[in-house]
A and B are shown apart, each in its own frame.
Chain A
Amino acid sequence: MTDTRTSGLSNVETTVLGADEIILNMGPQHPSTHGVLRVKLKLDGERVVDSECIIGYLHRGVEKIAEHRSYQQFAPYVDRMDYVAAVSNGLGYCEAVEKLLGAEAPPRARVVRTILTELQRIASHLLWLGTHALDIGALTPVFYCFREREEILKIFEKYCGARLTTHAFRIGGLQYETYDGFESDVKRFCEDFTHRIDEYETLLTENRIWVGRTKGVGILSAADAIALGVTGPVLRASGVKWDLRKAMPYAAYADYQFDIPTRPTGDTYDRYIVRMEEMRQSQRICLQAIENIPAGAIMAKVGKVLKPPPGEVYHSIEAPKGELGYYIVSDGTTQAYRVRVRPPSFINLQAFDRMARGSLVADVVAIIGTIDIVLGEVDR
């Protein structure tokens, strides 16, 4: 094979070092890299001149496994990609296979799915907020965030028995009916959460240290974000008003009122504001959905042995981190011929280099945090 490595865009090894330049390795074992991410930085003093992300430490071959399992057997595996938002992963996969089969989940299942997925979005954003603030040096928010996240995980546990890797949904609908008191649990949490989120904001939004550490840090313009394929809160903080829940509604999102928060500058502070507002919108969706969960079946008639007709489908959802897509090719047998996952974290992480160049080493920590990556999903 011809060697094409010499003209690397971000290939630190092949670039020549200047007199005052050094190479600094961060990770893979580093508390601020949120798992096993290794970042190679080329520094001029405290400034980042070039960077390269080295990933793959958590690669488990999820896409290969998918080719050797039946459609239902593979469903629990998707929970282990973005393991802090397992419910969203499951929703994307189940809906993709349903589309491949030409089936549709019943209305009741779709509303319950919407509620659980929005709760998961809040839980995922809370984990992000807590750890991101911790990285930057604010110790308090993480305790508050985990307190509320715990309430959500309790709802998951009561619903399906698992807290993190939930496998909450099935292809065709739901396995479990909602438990007695599900509505009141969700309602209590959502009503309570309004004040909680105000509480976090009093800690951070106008905090001088927080503003100083995040404003103007890791700026990503809208044009860059689109060219790099960035989606989710990162794209919206760059001023692009785009959310798959509105653009191509799935589950029951078309029935509810909610706004898409955006911010103009695309810095770390804007991404913080966007995610805070998104939590409020998720809570708004949950409160609307809980008022009127339609009665009826929770499972469509899809049969026990799934053999989708030959063909292919791409389906994506707005996961907490961005567009989570599944491209599935069927050859008419019980096992998928090919499953490709479009992981939002992987593609968003590619924008890291663009955001980090020219910033200080201390800001690198803030930038990794603000992209909101989960290495299980980056590496699959």
Chain B
Amino acid sequence: MAPVPLDNEFVERLKVKFGNAIREATLDRKQAIVNVEAMRLREISRYCRDEEKFDMLVDLTAVDWPNREKRFDVIVILYSFQKNERVRLKTHLGDGELVPSLCEVWPAANWLERECFDMFGIVFEGHPNLKRILLPEEWEGHPLRKDYDILKQDTAWVRENLGIESGQ
């Protein structure tokens, strides 16, 4: 069930248009994944929306791989009503590196990117209002990073705002 290389017309067109920015295309459990260069994510997304008719941003999220040189995967799931197909754009990102925001391509990206920033500390360049969304604004740390222990919390915040020693 290992991922197999994907080589269809869509990937061909992407490669012609963006060259080396399209790193790899694979098929995992019959689902298409295209690995792209982080800095060109916005351009590629816009092309997918306008030319390839992937008109809906389904989801945007991240995965943390702390032992890798570039620790984050940013994952963008797109859907095309016309083709009835999904595609996942994936990009590798080091800690502290910026990734272009997709807010101007899809307004739906706004809250999704805020959640990614909140949970992983990934900064989306050009986001109009990048602040925490689920956690309190003053909270320290990004809980979905692998080095954030499940029992860890911002004890200073809890003490100050809830008046208790521990929330657990």
Interface residues of A (CB under 8 A from B): 1-2, 4-5, 7-11, 55-56, 59, 61, 63-65, 67-68, 99-100, 102, 226-229, 240, 242, 247-248, 309-314, 316, 323, 325, 327, 329, 337-338, 340, 342, 346-347, 350, 379-380
CB pair B1–A311 under 8 Å, yes or no, is yes
Encode B121-136 as 1/0 by CB contact (under 8 A) with A: 0010001111111111
The CA of A118 and the CA of B146, in the complex, are separated in Å by: 38
Q: Provide a sorted-by-A list of 12 A–B residue pairs whose CB atoms are within 8 angstroms.
A: A4-B127, A4-B130, A61-B143, A63-B119, A102-B1, A226-B55, A228-B107, A229-B56, A309-B2, A323-B58, A340-B75, A342-B59
Say yes or no: A227 contacts B106, CB within 8 Å. Answer: yes
* Chain A residues, CB < 8 A from B110: 9, 350
Nearest-neighbour CB distance to chain B for A265, whole angstroms, equals 20
Tell whether, in the assembled complex, residue B29 and residue A11 are in contact, meaning their CB atoms are under 8 Å apart: no
Question: Given A7-B129, A338-B63, 6 other A-B contacts at CB below 8 A?
Answer: A4-B129, A4-B130, A226-B55, A327-B59, A342-B58, A347-B108
B111 touches A314 (CB 8 A): no
Query: Shortest distance in angstroms between A77's beta carbon and chain B's nearest beta carbon?
Result: 13
- Residue B88 interfacial (CB < 8 Å): yes
A99-B29 in contact given A64-B144, A327-B75, A342-B58 (Cβ < 8 Å)? yes
The 10 closest A-B pairs by CB, nearest first: A229-B108, A56-B134, A8-B129, A342-B59, A340-B61, A59-B134, A338-B63, A309-B1, A4-B130, A311-B28
Is the beta-carbon distance between A229 and B106 smaller than 8 angstroms?
yes
* B interface residue count range (under 10 / 10 to 19 / 20 to 34 / 35 or more): 35 or more
Inter-chain contact B77/A314, CB cutoff 8 Å = yes
Question: By the criterion CB–CB under 8 Å, are A227 and B107 in contact?
Answer: yes
Chain B 31-57, CB within 8 Å of chain A: the 1/0 string?
Answer: 101000000000000000000000111
> Which B residues are CB-close (under 8 A) to A67?
150
Q: Which residue of B lies closest to A331 (CB)?
A: B65
A101 to chain B, nearest CB (A): 9
A312 neighbours in B (Cβ, 8 Å) = 28-29, 33
- Contact indicator per residue, chain B 75-100, by CB within 8 Å of chain A (1) or not (0): 10100010010101000000000000
Q: Are B108 and A228 in contact (CB under 8 A)?
A: yes
Given A61-B143, A248-B84, A338-B63, does the pair A5, B131 have CB atoms closer than 8 Å? yes
Chain B residues lying within 8 Å of A7, measured Cβ to Cβ, are 128-129
Does the CB pair B150–A313 fall under 8 Å?
A: no
A55 pairs with B129, CB closer than 8 A: no
Residues of B within 8 A of A (CB): 1-3, 28-29, 31, 33, 55-59, 61, 63-64, 75, 77, 81, 84, 86, 88, 106-108, 110-112, 119, 123, 127-136, 143-144, 150
Chain A contacts for B33, CB-based, 8 A: 312
Q: Which of B3, B58, B134 contacts A55 (CB 8 A)?
A: B134
Residue of A4, A323, A327 contacting most chain B CB atoms (<10 Å): A4
* Docked CA distance A67–B66 (Å): 15
In the bound complex, what is the Cα–Cα distance between A17 and B160 (angstroms)? 31
Measured CA separation A347–B133 after assembly (Å):
13
Chain A residues near B132: list those with CB within 8 A.
56
With a cutoff of 8 Å between Cβ atoms, the chain B residues found around residue A338 in the complex are: 63-64
List of B residues within 8 angstroms of A340 by Cβ: 59, 61, 75
- Chain A residues with Cβ below 8 Å from B88 are 314
Q: Given contacts A56-B133, A229-B56, A314-B77, are A327 and B61 in contact (CB under 8 A)?
A: yes
B87 to chain A, nearest CB (A): 10
Contact across chains for B84 and A10 when beta carbons are under 8 A apart? no
Residues of B within 8 Å of A347, CB to CB, are: 108, 111-112
Q: Which residue of A lies closest to B98 (CB)?
A: A2
- The interface residues of chain B lying within 8 Å CB-to-CB of A310 are 2
Once the chains bind, are A313 and B59 in contact (CB under 8 Å)? no
Given contacts A226-B56, A227-B107, A314-B77, contact A379 B134 (CB under 8 A): yes
* Chain A residues whose C-beta falls within 8 Å of the C-beta of B127 in the assembled complex: 4
In the assembly, what is the distance between CA of A347 and CA of B28, in Å?
26
Which of A229, A247, A327, A329 lies in contact with B84, CB distance below 8 A?
A247
Complex contacts, A337 vs chain B, CB 8 Å: 63
A55 B86 Cβ-Cβ under 8 A: no
Least CB distance, A222 to chain B, in whole angstroms: 10
User: For the complex, what is the distance from the CA of A4 to the CA of B125, rounded to whole Å?
Assistant: 9
B59 touches A311 (CB 8 A): no
Are B58 and A65 interface neighbours, CB within 8 A?
no
Please measure, in the bound complex, the distance between the C-alpha atom of A63 and the C-alpha atom of B108, giving whole angstroms: 21
Assembly CA distance A228 to B107 (angstroms): 5
Contact residues in B for A247 (Cβ distance below 8 Å): 84
Question: Complex: how many Å from CA A316 to CA B56?
Answer: 14
Partner of A5, one of B2, B129, B136: B129
**A311–B29 CB distance below 8 A:** yes
* A350 CB to nearest B CB, Å: 5
Report the bound CA distance from A327 to B29 in whole Å: 13
Least Cβ–Cβ distance between A64 and chain B, in angstroms: 6
Max chain A Cβ within 10 angstroms of own Cβ: one of B2, B56, B77: B56
